Structure 1
C-alpha cells in the first residue's frame, strides 16, 4: 500500500502490528476484487461470437460474488480498526498488475485472457493465506473461502479452454494478449 496503515483500534487478541499487516493484506485483496468484478463486467459487455450468451450469462454470477467479496473484505478492514479505501484512484495507484487489455473480442479471446487474470488473483490469495496462518486465522478463513469460489470460477473459465485431453490452449501464455491469441 502507498499510505501508512493507521488503525483506530483493533480486535481483542490481535496485536496492533499484526492487525496493521492483516489490514494491508485485506486492502490488497479489496483492490484485486474490486478490479476483478469490474473486469468481469467489462468482459460481459464486450464479449461477442457464437458462444456469446453462454459466457455473458456465466459471468454475471461471478461479478455478483466477487463484488460481495469486496464488501466482506472492506468490512473486515473496518472490524480490525482500519479504514477501507475503495476509490478508483487509490486502486489504480496501489495495484501491482496491469489494466485488463482486451476490448471487444470473441468469447474465446476473453476467456483466454481471464484465465491469466484468475491465475494472478488466486496466486495472490494463496500467498495471503500462507501469511495469515500466523497472523489472523479469522481473516485466513475468509481468504480460504473466497479462494474456493475463485478457483471454481476459474475452472468454469478453463473448461472452455481445454481440449478433450485436458490441455489448456493458454498454457505458456504470459500476457492477456498472448492468452487471447492462443485461445482463439
Structure 2
C-alpha cells in the first residue's frame, strides 16, 4: 500500500512538487518495508535455535546493519525531496500491505524458510518501485537498484540453506511463512541434516 504524502512545498530541482510527492509515497512504502525487514531480521536473530544456530545467528547481524543503512538512506532521500519520512512503528503497521512475521522461537530451517518469503516480498516490491521511479527520478532509482543488489545477495545467503544438491528450494511453492517454515523443516529432515 503506497501512501502519497502531502505535496511538498519544495522538492529537488528538475521535479515538480507533484512528482516529488509521488516518489515520496513510493519511498515511504519502501521505508516501511525496510524498517519491518530490519526488525524481522533482529527478531529471527533472537529466536533462532537448533542445528546451525551460530551460523545463522551471526549471518543475520551484517544483514541487519546493512538494512538499517538502507532505512537511513531512504528516509534521507525523502527529506531531500521535501517529504517528511514517517519512521514510527505506527506508520509501519498502519501503512503496510503485508502481515506481521508469524514465527517466534523456531529452528534455523523454519526461520530461513519463512525469511525466504519475506525477502521475496521485499525484493519484488523494491523491483516495482525501481521500475516506477525510473522515468521520474533516476537518482532514487539508482538508490533502489543499489539496495536491490544487497537484498538479492542476502536472499541468496538464505536460500543457500534451503537448496538441495539438485538446486531445488525446499520452500518452492510455499505462499505463507508457516507453510515455507514447515517445508524447510521437512526438506532439512529429508536431506538428513
Residue matched to 1:161: 162
SS at match of 2:11: coil
Give, in whole Å, the separation in 2 of the partners of 1:26 and 1:144. Answer: 13
The two structures, once aligned, show a CA RMSD in angstroms of: 0.9
Matches within 5 A, 1:28-177: 28-177=29-178
Q: Which is worse superposed, 9-18 or 106-115?
A: 9-18
Give, in whole Å, the separation in 2 of the partners of 1:116 and 1:179. Answer: 7
Residue matched to 1:20: 21
Give the drift of 1:7.
1.1
- In the alignment, is the contact (CA less than 8 A) between 1:114 and 1:157 conserved in 2? yes
List gaps (5 residues or longer) in structure 1.
Answer: none
- In the alignment, is the contact (CA less than 8 A) between 1:5 and 1:24 conserved in 2? no
Give the drift of 1:35.
0.3
Distance 1:95 1:130, change over 3 A: same
Give, in whole Å, the separation in 1 of the partners of 2:145 and 2:168. Answer: 27
Q: TM-score, normalised by structure 2?
A: 0.93
SS at match of 1:35: helix
- In the alignment, is the contact (CA less than 8 A) between 1:161 and 1:168 conserved in 2? yes
Give, in whole Å, the separation in 2 of the partners of 1:11 and 1:73. Answer: 15
Give, in whole Å, the separation in 2 of the partners of 1:130 and 1:26. Answer: 13
SS at match of 1:135: coil
User: Which aligned segments of 4 or more residues in structure 1 are displaced greater than 3 angstroms?
Assistant: 1-4
List gaps (5 residues or longer) in structure 2.
Answer: 186-193
Give the drift of 1:18.
1.0
SS at match of 2:58: helix
- In the alignment, is the contact (CA less than 8 A) between 2:3 and 2:29 conserved in 1? no
Give, in whole Å, the separation in 1 of the partners of 2:10 and 2:137. Answer: 16
Give the drift of 1:17.
1.3
Residues 47-68 of structure 1: per-residue CA shift (max 9 Å, x gap): 0001000000000000000001
Residues 18-46 of structure 1: per-residue CA shift (max 9 Å, x gap): 11110001110000000000000000000
- In the alignment, is the contact (CA less than 8 A) between 1:7 and 1:81 conserved in 2? yes
